[in-house]
Amino acid sequence: MTHFRICNLCEATCGLRIETEDGVVTSIRGDRDDPFSRGHICPKAIALKDIQEDPDRLRWPVRRSDKGEWVEIGWDEALDDAAERMASVQRKHGRDALAIYLGNPNSHNYGSMLFAPPLLRSLRSKNTYSATSVDQLPHHLAAMLMFGHQLLLPVPDIDRTQFMLILGANPLVSNGSLMTAPGVNDRLLAIPKRGGTIVVVDPRRTETAEIAQKHLFIHPGTDAFLLASLLQVLFAEGLAQPGRLQGLYSSFSGLGDLFEDMTPERVAPITGIDSEAIRQLALEFSEADSAVCYGRLGVSTQVYGGLCLWMVNLLNIVTGNFDRKGGAMFPEPAIDVLRSVSRGHIGRWSSGVRGLPEFGGELPVSVLAEEILSEGAGRVRSLLTIAGNPVLSTPNGRQLDRALGQLESMVAIDFYINETTRHADLILPPTPPLERDHYDLVFNILAVRNVARYSKPVMKPAGDALHEWQILSELHSRLDRGGLGVRLRRIALSRLGPRRMIDFGLRTGPYGSLLPGRGLTLAKLEDSDHGEDLGPLRPCIEKRLQTMSRRIELAPSPFVLDLERLRSELETNEAISDRCLTLIGRRHLRSNNSWMHNFARLMGGKDRCTLLMHPEDARRNGLESGEQVDISSRVGQVTVALAVTDEMMPGVVSLPHGWGHDREGTRLSTAELYPGASINDLTDETRVDGLSGNAAFSGVPVRVVKAKEDGQKT
Ligand SMILES: Nc1nc2c(c(=O)[nH]1)N[C@H]1C(S)=C(S)[C@@H](COP(=O)(O)OP(=O)(O)OC[C@H]3O[C@@H](n4cnc5c(=O)[nH]c(N)nc54)[C@H](O)[C@@H]3O)O[C@H]1N2
Ligand SMILES: Nc1nc2c(c(=O)[nH]1)N[C@H]1C(S)=C(S)[C@@H](COP(=O)(O)OP(=O)(O)OC[C@H]3O[C@@H](n4cnc5c(=O)[nH]c(N)nc54)[C@H](O)[C@@H]3O)O[C@H]1N2
Ligand code: SF4
Ligand SMILES: [Mo]
């Protein structure tokens, strides 16, 4: 049988053509007729078969016995037990004693997107955390303060731009992020083919930098200085032009004063980029027929993350490239999730120990461990994780690992016993991707083309398996303490199920109609193997803008105030010349955050969890390629093999994240073969973006020495 569906493993949402025989997957290929991905896939898609067939994957709920063994139990018992553990902690110690961590795959699972929020609302814990604060929180902050909604995230119009400036992203490997662009490789290569230019700014000469027309090395964590000086040049040279949206901008005049002192000459020693190169970059950007600045993970996970994303938007705005073909644009998805998600808020409460602000109802996950370890009334005593592995994914993971051992109870919704879920009392496994239907609610908000595709399940759920939404809905019904109205709404939603909610969303969305037989409906998408193409992005900010002032806010005061932090560093840091190495992360095409490392198909080849270092640094430290090195930071130490390469900037070393599978008690069959070491045993939970609280992974100071004992692991 042939099935068509979209891959939900990363943000690219590639269309797949899957063949099955007698319920077994026999091939997975790219769907050449998919209107968006046109046949592109990456090696991870094939591993959907591995997830389906993986003997390590849990099929039944498991409970840890007093002797520490995992025992399979039935669903009713598991759900009752899970709900009771959560409820009893909240009864005894208050609502905030239960923390929740939502991991990355929730955003790729429409069941979670629809059914986790009502459960969270009824739990009402201030200790709600997610992968957002180790990822894209600064993007949401900039969107909320400038455009009035945390999800109004501009995306680069990659298919039509003539100049793309990429800061801190490596789409050739990540397949694009906050820019859903399947086959991004071809889309990027098309830019120089039509006479355009790609410039990459990155402390490493990445795979993306290799195909760019220009690559500039930058010291980790200093992009805010670069962006400020690009703006300085544009204003000083009279090149800042508001363009078509002039009437929509607050306070365009006076904006340039904010950056007056951030000249290329002053920021050059900090960024490591020559002042002439900065000036030239500003000129090229402003002269291009169309241009877009795209900043991603490398700029959001740094100490000036918020400032960076604000200035990325400003650069697009002041060069007249905002909401314009070839510039930064807003998708118009068939289901407009913005209508049902809050616009966002910040600082309504703060974390107990360090006082970091909440954003959109969540605290920064960098504080989770200390909230568990602190003695005192507000202590977190129980944790629910949904699709996440924060022991490997969040800064100072070892501390969190220790903290999880001290919880009174922990429940995980996940299909693996991994470094985090091994601490749980109960694990509730949802169906794997191929056993469920799918409609992408999140990445269509970020897509470089408007499309709508619905994926039917490829196989029936095995046995009594429950979908994520069913688990969440069952837990909710056991924990619901809302009034009659809330309860009726919950019952109605669970009867409706996510499928019909999608239908409703489509009918009431911009391409739908409530009249029978008209507009986009679920039935229409079900009948169409490859989905619907809804066309290229169109200027639409006038319609989408949600600020109270009905203007695009160019200078929200939190950013203006935070510029002072940058300015004070400009003053103290100009002569920085210490020889400390700084650490950054990286991704690999055949790796997916902290999981999928147990599939031989993806893991073959060279050891990937290596430390990259520039030859000069290796020589100075007396180190050679291939030998084991001890890397240490304020918070810990790991041992990995060294790979010496001039793709690194001198003074900067790189290690991938998501590894460190040698912890005891996991059930991952290849953990011994491919353990790797966790970068987050080195990253520091006290390093956060002062404005948003997002983890600042980039630029952690480290020492690297020959390993005490070759091959020794810590
Ligand atoms: N140092 C450093 N740390 C980083 C990063 C970095 O670049 N550097 N990147 C950060 C980023 S961007 C992110 S998004 C986070 C990601 O970190 P996490 O939020 O921890 O997400 P994953 O590592 O993807 O964890 C996936 C878990 O979800 C489970 N899972 C997969 N699919 C499903 C499903 O459908 N349902 C359920 N219930 N479970 C499922 C898997 O078994 C696995 O245990 O890591 C962050 N950590
Ligand atoms: N194959 C694969 N694909 C993935 C993932 C995966 O794990 N594997 N994870 C998915 C997830 S959750 C996400 S969020 C996206 C992320 O997708 P991207 O945003 O493309 O993230 P990375 O590939 O980590 O690229 C970040 C780049 O920033 C650079 N960098 C580090 N520090 C700095 C700095 O201070 N300044 C500048 N200018 N650059 C810096 C790094 O060298 C790196 O090249 O990828 C997604 N796609
Ligand atoms: S690029 Fe992403 S969406 Fe496309 S096949 Fe690979 S993992 Fe799946
Ligand atoms: Mo992410």
pLDDT digits (tens, 9 = 90+) for 627-644: 999 999 999 999 999 999
CA of 387 to the centre of ligand 1 (A): 7
In the chain, the number of structural domains is: 4
Q: What's the gap in Å between 174 CA and the centre of ligand 3?
A: 9
User: Does the beta carbon of 42 sit less than 6 angstroms from any atom of ligand 3?
Assistant: yes
Residue after which a domain boundary falls, among 377, 401, 430: 430
Q: Are residues 298 and 175 in the same domain?
A: yes
Dmax (CA) of the chain: 74
- Residue 362 inside a domain? The answer is yes
- Which two tokens mark 72? 């399979």
608 inside domain = yes
Residue 470: both structure tokens together: 């069913």
Q: Tell whether ligand 3 has an atom less than 6 A from the beta carbon of residue 679.
A: no
**Looking at the structure, do residues 324 and 379 belong to the same domain, yes or no?**
no
- Integer angstrom CA distances of residue 460 from 345, 464, 501, 639: 41, 10, 21, 44
In short, whether 203's Cβ falls inside 6 Å of ligand 2 is: yes
CA-697 nearest atom, ligand 2? 32
**Is the C-beta atom of 699 inside 6 A of ligand 1?**
no
Which residue, judged by its Cα, is nearest atom 29 of ligand 1? 387
**Same domain, yes or no: 385 and 498:** no
Same domain, 426 and 442: no
Residues 308 and 176 in one domain: yes
For residue 177, give the ligand nearest its CA. Answer: 2
Q: What is the CATH number of the domain that holds 74?
A: 3.40.50.740
Indicate which atom in ligand 3 lies nearest the CA of residue 13: 3
CA distances 665 to 31, 72, 418, 662, 713, Å, are 40, 16, 8, 9, 17
Report if residue 632 sits inside a domain. Answer: yes
Ligand 2 atom 46: the closest Cα is on which residue? Answer: 174
Q: Note whether residue 474 is domain-resident.
A: no
Atom index in ligand 3 nearest the CA of residue 43 equals 6
Which tokens belong to 517? 């037989």
Give bridge partners of residue 63 from the DSSP assignment. 71, 426
Asked whether residue 216 falls in the same domain as residue 268, the answer is: yes
Q: How many Å apart are CA 51 and CA 55, to the nearest integer?
A: 9
360 and 444 within one domain: no
* Short-list 309, 304, 360, 314, CA closest to 562: 304
- Helix, strand or coil, per DSSP, at residue 295: strand
The closest ligand to the CA of 178 turns out to be: 2
Ligand 1 lined by 413 (C-beta under 6 Å): yes
Residue 323 and residue 175 share a domain: yes
User: Which atom of ligand 2 is nearest to 44's Cα?
Assistant: 1
| Ligand 2 binding pocket includes 168 (Cβ within 6 Å) | yes
Model pTM above 0.75? yes
Ligand 1: nearest atom to the Cα of 658: 23
Q: Are residues 241 and 366 in the same domain?
A: no
Together in a domain, 184 and 306: yes
Q: Given the DSSP bridges, would you call strands 637-644 and 611-613 parallel, antiparallel or unpaired?
A: parallel
Which run of H or E residues covers position 541? helix 541-544
Ligand 1 closest atom vs CA 135: 12
Q: HEC profile for 422-466?
A: HHCCEEECECCHHHCCEECCCHHHHECEEEECEECCCCCCCCCCE
Q: Does the beta carbon of 414 sit less than 6 angstroms from any atom of ligand 1?
A: yes
pLDDT value of position 578: 58
Cα(169) to centroid(ligand 2), Å:
5
**Residue 545: per-residue pLDDT:** 97
Tell the burial category of 543 from Cβ atoms under 10 Å away from its Cβ (0-12, 13-18, 19+): exposed
For residue 647, what is the domain's CATH number? 2.40.40.20
**Element at 188 (helix H, strand E):** helix 184-193
- Choice from 394, 473, 594, 659 to test ligand 1 binding pocket (greatest atom count within 8 A of CB): 594
**CA–centroid distance, residue 174 to ligand 2 (Å):** 6
User: Per the structure block, which two tokens stand in for 437?
Assistant: 């239907």
Q: Which bound ligand lies closest to the C-alpha atom of 272?
A: 2
240 found inside a domain: yes
Q: Would you say the CB of residue 593 lies under 6 angstroms from ligand 2?
A: yes
As a whole number of angstroms, the distance between CA 284 and CA 298 comes to 23
Residues of the chain with pLDDT under 70: 573-579, 709-714
- The DSSP result for 224-267, as a single string, is HHHHHHHHHHHHHTT----GGGGGGBS--TTGGGGGTT--HHHH
Identify the CATH number of the domain in which residue 49 sits. 3.30.200.210
Pocket flag, ligand 3, residue 51 (CB < 6 Å): no
295 lines ligand 2 (CB under 6 A): no
Judge contact between 196 and 230, C-beta under 8 A: no
Is 370 inside any structural domain?
A: yes
Measured between alpha carbons, how far is 234 from 228 in angstroms, rounded to an integer? 10
Residues 680 and 597 reside in one and the same domain: yes
**572-582 b/e with 16+ CB inside 10 Å = b?**
eeeeeeeeebb
Check pocket membership of 598 for ligand 1, CB cut-off 6 A: no
Determine the residue of 36, 175, 451 to mutate for testing ligand 3's pocket, defined as the one with the most ligand atoms within 8 A of the Cβ atom: 175
For residue 482, being part of any structural domain is answered with: no
CB 648 within 8 A of CB 614: yes
Which atom from ligand 2 is nearest to the alpha carbon of 586? 24
Dist. CA 333–CA 573, nearest whole Å? 44
**Element at 371 (helix H, strand E):** helix 368-373
3-state secondary structure of 110: helix
State if residue 585 touches ligand 1 by the CB under 6 angstroms criterion.
Answer: yes
Token pair 């990937």 in the structure block, residue: 608
Q: Whose CA is nearest to atom 2 of ligand 3?
A: 10
Strands 382-386 and 98-102: parallel
Is 568 inside any structural domain?
Answer: no
H or E element in which residue 4 lies: strand 2-6
Of the candidates 401, 430, 459, which is a domain's last residue? 430
Which tokens is 585 given?
């992360």
Helix 275-287 × helix 264-271 angle, to 10°: 110
Of 42, 442, 591, best ligand 3 pocket probe by most atoms within 8 Å of the beta carbon: 42
Check whether residue 324 and residue 366 sit in a common domain: no
Find the CATH number of the domain harbouring 186.
Answer: 3.40.228.10
CA-nearest residue, atom 6 of ligand 3: 42
Q: Which structural domain range is residue 425 located in?
A: 62-136+343-430
> Phi, psi at residue 629, to the nearest 5°?
-125, 150
Which residues lie closer than 8 Å to 62 by C-beta, 6 or more apart?
70, 71, 72, 73, 417, 426, 427
* Token duo for residue 557: 């005061």
